Amino acid sequence: MSDDTAVLYQAIISRDARFDGVFFVGVTSTGIYCRPVCSARKPAARNCRFFQRAAQAESAGFRPCLICRPELAPGSAPVDGAGRLARLVVQGLDDGLLDDGAGLERLATRFGWSSRHLRRVVRQELGVSPMELVLTRRLLLAKQLLTETELPVSQVALASGFSSTRRFNDAFVRRYRMPPGRFRTTSGGDSRLPSVLDTLTLQLAYRPPFNWSALLAFLDARSTRGVERVEGNGYLRTVSLRGLTGWVAVRHDARRRSLRVELSRELAPVLPALLARLRQLFDLDARPDIIRARLGADPRLAPLMEVDPGLRVPGAFDGFELAVRAILGQQVSVAAATTLAGRFAAAFGVRIETPHEKLELAMPCAERVGSLDAERIAALGIVRARAHAIVVLAREVASGRIGLEPGSPPDETVAALVKLPGIGPWTAQYIAMRALRWPDAFPAGDLIVRRRLGNVTESRARELSKAWMPWRAYATLHLWSEGPTA
């Protein structure tokens, strides 16, 4: 871990939870060391020392913070970190795993915890119980639906996770001291986004600047035929989520500084999970100001940051889908990989109906692909070694031994991926960058990156990249901007 405070201080002032457990900071003015997500007032950069492990900080004479409790950082606590556990609970909420009382028990069992431990650390980290967190998130989504759509109140209740309209009304009255219909009345019909009978339309906000056209071009070049497409100023794709199928169309609304999301009503019951995936796909939670301040300090990147301060790292709607596309893209052009992905979807995907032309396939899930013989995949013109790699990866994901969703530990996941046949460091880092949403992922062996750094070696590229930590994924996208790979 570098001692250069200018490198890691950016992660501290952003309080980005993705860096929790990756490093610790010792504050010389107080003698205390903290996690990067600590809520205490941030120290001056000159007073910071950085450590990879808590033991190193204590050996240097620092004592643990009583606010953020470094012993609970991810990877440090006996049963993993409280912060990571809390984030997994929120993610489980978005995925619908806490829709009933038994959901908490199922989530605890899934990760090998007791439900009592889960409740304790969620209250410790977030200040509320898991079910209070569920209620708050349901109410906020319901308020957005009431304000921005014309969905009947009874359907708003179901879409936001309430089992009955009566419970929905009671929750609104207890929390907001008014019935849900009052929000619709006071919002005014003209302010709502227009919708038609079979669709819902909502907004997802972002922090400007936001280079929508660059992100759209990146996705367009890699769009899988039948599954996704770019049309004019919008991105459209099919959705298969928790047994429901439908479609979604996303367009940029620069005036509102948001994305306008239109979706088929069949997807209303999985709306929280769907919106969470879209935020990841379009990198809507990025902090362009902090990223620009760090990367713009490097003379190699400064001109690129000036030209395009709003460049985002495209994520993935589904981690396994992205990983398959990454394997297909090994040692072939972007166009060739896109063609292969289209064949793969046509052969093994699920046919669905949508009102959009050439949008008719949902990508196969890991369980389906894991049941295939690699020879069936190779028959599509895919190199046999890559076909085998896809099947092996599918079985690892289906079994839960490898997770490819945001929040999965990046170092452990990358290490697990490169152990699989046919997956090298470049592919693993690319998956970490887009599927895991790891902002410090860096494919050091990438030819375009090395060429733009002056035809340097892989080890030299890795050395130079230390100046960009912890935003190396964004630096990579800027270096790719005139001719991206993958």
CATH architecture of 198-284+316-428: 2-Layer Sandwich (3.30)
User: What pLDDT shows up at residue 136?
Assistant: 78
Q: How many helices (H) and strands (E) does the chain have?
A: 23, 11
User: Quick one: average pLDDT of 252-269?
Assistant: 92
Sign of the torsion formed by the C-alpha atoms of 430, 482, 220 and 232: positive
User: What pLDDT shows up at residue 39?
Assistant: 84
User: Quick one: average pLDDT of 89-101?
Assistant: 60
Selection from 173, 10, 31 nearest residue 23 by Cα:
10
For residue 51, pLDDT over 80 is answered with yes
Selection from 36, 33, 34 nearest residue 15 by Cα:
36
For residue 224, pLDDT over 50 is answered with yes
DSSP characters over 180-220: HHHHHHHH-GGGSPP--TTEEEEEEE-PSP--HHHHHHHHH
- Whether residue 450 contacts residue 419, with contact meaning beta carbons closer than 8 Å, is answered with no
User: What pLDDT shows up at residue 187?
Assistant: 45
CA atoms within 13 A on the CB side of 33: 24
Write down the pTM of the prediction: 0.76
For residue 175, pLDDT over 90 is answered with no
Model confidence pLDDT, tens digit, residues 10-47: 888 887 766 777 788 999 999 999 988 888 888 998 89
Catalytic residue among 16, 20, 34, 365: 34
- Tell me which of 29 and 481 has the higher pLDDT: 29
User: What pLDDT shows up at residue 188?
Assistant: 43
User: What pLDDT shows up at residue 159?
Assistant: 86
User: What pLDDT shows up at residue 408?
Assistant: 81
Sign of the torsion formed by the C-alpha atoms of 332, 323, 240 and 438: negative
- Kindly calculate the radius of gyration of the chain based on its CA atoms and give it in whole angstroms: 23
Beta bridge mates, 246: 239
- Whether residue 306 contacts residue 209, with contact meaning beta carbons closer than 8 Å, is answered with no
User: What pLDDT shows up at residue 191?
Assistant: 47
For residue 4, pLDDT over 70 is answered with no
Catalytic residue among 20, 80, 95, 446: 446
For residue 264, pLDDT over 70 is answered with yes
Selection from 245, 277, 243 nearest residue 261 by Cα:
277
User: What pLDDT shows up at residue 481?
Assistant: 86
Model confidence pLDDT, tens digit, residues 115-154: 787 777 777 766 777 777 778 778 888 888 888 888 888 8
8-state DSSP, 364: P
User: What pLDDT shows up at residue 5?
Assistant: 63
For residue 101, pLDDT over 60 is answered with no
- Whether residue 435 contacts residue 417, with contact meaning beta carbons closer than 8 Å, is answered with no
Q: Domain residue spans in the chain?
A: 5-72, 82-127, 198-284+316-428
- Tell me which of 73 and 373 has the higher pLDDT: 373
For 228, other C-beta atoms within 10 Å of its C-beta total: 23
For residue 337, pLDDT over 90 is answered with yes
For 80, list phi and psi in degrees, rounded to 5.
Answer: 70, 175
Residue 77's pLDDT band, with cuts at 50, 70 and 90, is: very low
Model confidence pLDDT, tens digit, residues 419-466: 999 999 999 999 999 999 999 999 999 999 999 999 999 999 999 999
Residue 1's pLDDT band, with cuts at 50, 70 and 90, is: very low
For residue 66, pLDDT over 80 is answered with no
8-state DSSP, 267: G
For 163, other C-beta atoms within 10 Å of its C-beta total: 11
User: Quick one: average pLDDT of 269-294?
Assistant: 90
8-state DSSP, 244: E
Q: Looking at 333-465, list the stretches that DSSP marks H as alpha helix, in order from N- to C-terminal side.
A: 334-348, 366-370, 374-378, 384-399, 410-418, 425-434, 447-452, 458-465
User: What pLDDT shows up at residue 249?
Assistant: 97
Model confidence pLDDT, tens digit, residues 363-387: 999 999 999 999 999 999 999 999 9
First to last CA, the chain: 29
User: What pLDDT shows up at residue 117?
Assistant: 77
Burial 63-76 (b: 16+ CB within 10 A, else e): ebbeebbbebbbeb
User: What pLDDT shows up at residue 315?
Assistant: 96
User: What pLDDT shows up at residue 112?
Assistant: 62
* 365 among known catalytic residues: no
**Would you report the helix, strand and coil content of the chain in percent, each value rounded to 5?**
50, 10, 35
Phi/psi-derived region of residue 302, left when phi > 0, alpha when psi is between -120 and 50, beta in every other case: alpha
User: Quick one: average pLDDT of 80-84?
Assistant: 52
For residue 96, pLDDT over 70 is answered with no
| Percentage of the chain modeled with pLDDT above 70 | 85
* 95 among known catalytic residues: no
Whose tokens are 């921005």? That residue is 148
Q: Looking at 60-129, list the stretches that DSSP marks H as alpha helix, in order from N- to C-terminal side.
A: 82-94, 101-110, 115-126
Selection from 186, 86, 90, 182 nearest residue 138 by Cα:
90
Helix (H) or strand (E) holding 142: helix 130-148
DSSP characters over 428-477: HHHHHHHTS--TT---TT-HHHHHHTTS--HHHHHHHHGGGTT-HHHHHH
8-state DSSP, 17: G
- Residue 399 to residues 10, 104, 174, 370: CA-CA distances in angstroms? 37, 21, 42, 10
Residue 189's pLDDT band, with cuts at 50, 70 and 90, is: very low
What is the average pLDDT score of the chain? 86
Q: What is the CATH number of domain 5-72?
A: 3.40.10.10
User: What pLDDT shows up at residue 114?
Assistant: 76
For residue 190, pLDDT over 50 is answered with no
3-class secondary-structure state, position 248 = strand
Rounded Cα gap, residues 449 and 452, in angstroms:
5
